Chains A and B, each alone.
Chain A
Amino acid sequence: DAGVTQTPRHEVAEKGQTIILKCEPVSGHNDLFWYRQTKIQGLELLSYFRSKSLMEDGGAFKDRFKAEMLNSSFSTLKIQPTEPKDSAVYLCASSRQGSAETLYFGSGTRLTVL
Chain B
Amino acid sequence: GQQVQQSPASLVLQEGENAELQCNFSSTATQLQWFYQSPGGSLVSLLSNPSGTKHTGRLTSTTVTKERRSSLHISSSQTTDSGTYLCAIDRDNMGYKLTFGTGTSLLVDP
A and B interact physically: yes
With A45-B97, A99-B96, A100-B33: A108-B42 Cβ-Cβ less than 8 Å: yes
A45 CB to closest chain B CB (Å) equals 7
Q: Is A31 an interface position by the 8 A CB rule?
A: yes
Q: Is B51 an interface position by the 8 A CB rule?
A: no
A35 to B37, CA, bound (A): 14
With A42-B101, A43-B100, A100-B90: A105-B42 Cβ-Cβ less than 8 Å: yes
With A42-B103, A100-B33, A100-B48: A106-B94 Cβ-Cβ less than 8 Å: no
Interface string of B83-110 (1 = CB under 8 A from A): 0001010100011111111110000000
Partner of B98, one of A41, A100, A107: A100
| B contacts with A: majority SS | loop
Q: Is B43 an interface position by the 8 A CB rule?
A: yes
Interface string of A76-100 (1 = CB under 8 A from B): 0000000000000001010101111
Contact A101–B42 (Cβ < 8 Å): no
Partner of B43, one of A48, A97, A101, A105: A105
A51 to B90, CA, bound (A): 19
Which residues of B approach A to under 8 Å, CB–CB? 31, 33, 41-45, 48, 86, 88, 90, 94-103
